[in-house]
Amino acid sequence: MKITVIGCGAMGGLYGAYLSQKNDVTVIDVAKDTVDAINRDGIEIVEPDGSSAIYHPRAALTSEGMEPQDLVIIFVKALFTESALSSNARIIGPDTYLMTLQNGGGHETVLGKFADKDHVVIGTTQHNAARLGSGSVRHGGSGKTVIGASGVPAEKLAPIAEALTSCGLEAAVDGNVQRLIWNKLFTNVSASALTALFQMPLGFIANNESAWALCTKLVRETVDVAAAAGFEFDFEQKLAEVRHICEASPEGITSIQADIAAGRRTEVGTISGYVVDCAHKYGIPAPNHEFLVAAIHALEGKALVQREAAATKA
């Protein structure tokens, strides 16, 4: 398959590297040092057991001169998805599938601006990765990738799942992939989001009485909103799962926490913000999510003001 991965951070690098084993793969990234390093040295994937291998997809800053692809995978931060697709619209033809494995929900709305719904693929993955350098990625853990598309028979997406699986990224097609996306949201919209607010690791959320009370309310609201959207979850079970994740990684630093600490914009709009959007859509109250989203956006704004003030003084 002709595949382009847009966004070559940790996960984009992992998927681009693996898929290049048996496909014609290009990775596109706006960071010149990343592109140069990949074209010069390839992408190094360091596996959980300490072994490593080098893979050689092509890398480019833009899609200029490229033809429409069979599959385009989006791995940029969600807030940059639309601009990234607009910049690379030339590689999206009538038969191109657009696929996202980004965290959060509602991504199909943005992708739907560039392809018909039968060619918009959403999914979730159990793989995780961390960027070690311009052309190096640590593969933190593996698992299944599950994909689906609205009203599209499984056999239509089978070639994509087969391409992923054949390259070591075990994949399956699921007609109820939206439930899996909701299931993955619970920790992200509760404990993870609170680590950003408090700038404390996951263990603090479970061990601090007040933080855990807030986390509990966020899980409760998410269960209620998910039910209104047609996806039933057991509140006590989901709460126990969130607590287990916090206690299993007490020093865990989440990506949204790191973004706030570094003064970067976060993906809160498509994670916690997705719960808020669905709450409004279905008429379900979610005041704790609304507060949390506003608070994190305020922290983003604070960082911007501080940068501007520092630039003025300089």
Domain that holds residue 261: 178-313
Same-domain check for residues 281 and 170:
no
The residue among 89, 81, 35 whose CA lies nearest residue 58 is 35
pLDDT digits (tens, 9 = 90+) for 206-243: 999 999 999 999 999 999 999 999 999 999 999 999 99
Asked if residue 265 lies in contact with residue 79, where contact means CB atoms within 8 angstroms, the answer is yes
Cα 231 to Cα 301: distance, rounded to the nearest angstrom:
34
* pLDDT recorded at residue 277: 97
* pLDDT recorded at residue 267: 94
Same-domain check for residues 71 and 160:
yes
How many domains does the chain contain in total?
2
Cα 8 to Cα 226: distance, rounded to the nearest angstrom:
32
* pLDDT recorded at residue 151: 74
Cα 129 to Cα 203: distance, rounded to the nearest angstrom:
21
Per-residue pLDDT, averaged over 42-70, amounts to: 96
Same-domain check for residues 55 and 186:
no
The pLDDT mean for the chain works out to 95
Cα 185 to Cα 193: distance, rounded to the nearest angstrom:
11
Same-domain check for residues 171 and 185:
no
Share of the chain above pLDDT 90, in %: 90
pLDDT digits (tens, 9 = 90+) for 76-89: 999 999 999 999 99
On the question of pLDDT at 308 being above 90, the answer is no
Per-residue pLDDT, averaged over 246-268, amounts to: 94
In this structure, what CATH number is given to the domain that contains residue 220?
1.10.1040.10
Q: Which tokens go with 244?
A: 């287990």
On the question of pLDDT at 312 being above 90, the answer is no
What is the DSSP track for 231-282? Answer: ----HHHHHHHHHHHHHHSTTPPPHHHHHHHTT---SGGGTHHHHHHHHHHH
Same-domain check for residues 218 and 165:
no
pLDDT digits (tens, 9 = 90+) for 96-154: 999 999 999 999 999 999 999 999 999 999 998 999 988 999 998 888 999 998 777 88
Q: What is the three-state SS of 273-303?
A: HHHHHHHHHHCCCCHHHHHHHHHHHHHHHHH
* pLDDT recorded at residue 299: 97
Helix (H, G, I), strand (E, B) or coil at 176: coil
